[in-house]
A and B are shown apart, each in its own frame.
Chain A
Amino acid sequence: MAGSSSAAPSNSEARSPAAPGALLSATDVARVVDRMAHQLIEKCARGGGEGDNTADLSHLVLVGIPTRGAPLARRLAARVEAFSGTPVDVGTVDITLYRDDLRMRGVRALEPTVLPAAGIDGRLVVLVDDVLFSGRSVRAALDALRDLGRPRAVQLAVLVDRGHRELPIRADYVGKNVPTSRSQSVKVRLAEIDGADEVLVTEGEAT
């Protein structure tokens, strides 16, 4: 009896390999964003298609999904520009009005949708979000993009992929894969909104 109670803490740790606390620190976030920026440049160097070897970033548009995808997209764009010397267009697309779970949640305030002046027609749009979970936000974003124009291709970049997909959606650029249980929640905090960079995994209801 005594043995089992003393073993309890290590058991609970074994159940949640991503122990409560910071999964990524501010330094980690910066490093991950840098790596994703490099990957973006590499992929674009192949033109996003077969047999195309020109590094053409003029076609690239980074579109953040509010709330935290928006500053992430701006950071990625700044890093891509720093590494490649070419400025990259950034936008945001609010997906609230496209969500399929509006009936299940309360209404929420809308955030701005801002696209670069050149639009998205014929360009490579990379959607940027903080956490990839069920995939429903991404589907809503794809629906929103369809109303906004016709990109040549759409890719997806996420800071954290936590699994539990409910739709056939996969990210092209992943900052960190985090196997989680549904009972856990993943919180991304960014300096622009929350005052500090951090990714936390906590026990609690799934978001």
Chain B
Amino acid sequence: MKRHLLEAADLDRDDATLVLDTAKEIESALAGREVKKLPTLRGRTVVNLFFEDSTRTRISFELAAKRLSADVINFSAKGSSVSKGESLKDTALTLEAMGSDAIVVRHSASGAPHRLAHWVRGSVVNAGDGTHEHPTQALLDAYTIRQRLGRLEGVRVTIVGDVLHSRVARSNVRLLHTLGAEVTLVAPPTLLPVGVESWPVTVGYDLDAALPKADVVMMLRVQAERMNASFFPSAREYSRRYGLDAVRMAALADEAIVMHPGPMNRGMEIAAEVADSVRSTIVEQVGNGVSVRMAVLYLLLGGAPQ
């Protein structure tokens, strides 16, 4: 495995499978235990460097690092020297000088983790950069699919919604393709990125036509904060055409599952009754996130430095 995890393409099929298998072993090793802690990364320091708010991802990484006995430093840009004008590079070098072994970085600029990886000796894990990638989210989604359906090879995954702004979608497309799944994107044409025709996916615009063929429906959040242009006429219209409600859910195959990376806009892209149904894996995804991130931290930091 590479030293950093910056994007889904850093993982070939063997690496990705190793992460998923490792996460499975870690999960079963800790299941039903009173002491949910392993001494594996004792003495290592993991910095959560968050330039963008994300409580759930930060807590997930923090818990993963703590369960492996690493020391965790949470660094949020708000109220730090960054707000006084310090650059990303200087922040990174400061953290490195303080002895961090890994930096988990969330940044609003696409590519920030790549830059960071050039400046530091430790490992860098991308926890979401701009509209680019969010590889650990894709890993936990793949883990959840494998857990529910028992396989990834040949699984038909339909990703619905704002693909243009979605790093979750980008990472998922690449990782799921690597692992042998067939991905279909369904979105309004305005919310598909330029160059999507070169992605290893099928593109469609009609959700009702796509649903009966899907094993997995992954609903993306409508990112209100990024809706700075007229991507669709109104929230109501979006919801009618691309929202997943109980009627649409009934069109799914018996075994099919519904995923959402969270946080959800209930009633917008996903109806409450769908989010709370037995098909929904939304809560499992959160739990699996910790196991997958433990696996990533172990695989990046557990071994000898190369």
A and B form one complex: yes
A interface residues, Cβ below 8 angstroms from B: 94, 97-98, 102-113, 143, 147-148
- Interface residue stretch chosen among B29-37, B195-203, B241-249: B29-37
Q: Which has the most chain B C-beta neighbours within 10 Å: A110, A111, A112, A113?
A: A110
In the complex, whether B180 has a CB less than 8 A from a CB of chain A is: no
Chain B residues engaging chain A, CB cutoff 8 angstroms: 1, 18, 21-22, 25-26, 28-29, 33, 35, 37-40, 68, 298-299, 302-305
A97-B39, A143-B39 given; A106·B28 CB < 8 A: no
Instruction: Determine the main DSSP class of B at the interface with A.
Output: loop
Please state if A109 and B40 are interface contacts (CB–CB under 8 Å): no
**B34 → A minimal CB distance (Å):** 8
B54 CB to nearest A CB, Å? 27
Chain B residues with Cβ below 8 Å from A97 are 26, 29, 38-40, 68, 298, 302
Could you say which residues of chain B place their CB within 8 Å of the CB of A107?
1, 298-299, 302-303
Structural contact, A106 and B22, CB atoms closer than 8 A: no
CB of A109 within 8 A of CB of B18, answer: yes
Q: B303: shortest Cβ distance to chain A, in Å?
A: 4
> Does B39 lie within 8 Å of A109, measured CB to CB?
no
Q: B304, A147: Cβ atoms under 8 Å?
A: no
In angstroms, Cα B68 to Cα A111, docked, is: 17
A110-B22 contact given A98-B38, A102-B40, A105-B303, CB 8 Å threshold:
yes
CA distance A110 to B25 in the complex (A): 6
Chain A residues positioned under 8 Å from B21 (CB to CB): 109-110
Taking CB atoms, residues of chain A closer than 8 Å to B68 are 97
CA distance A109 to B28 in the complex (A): 14
- Closest A residue to B305 by beta carbon equals A103
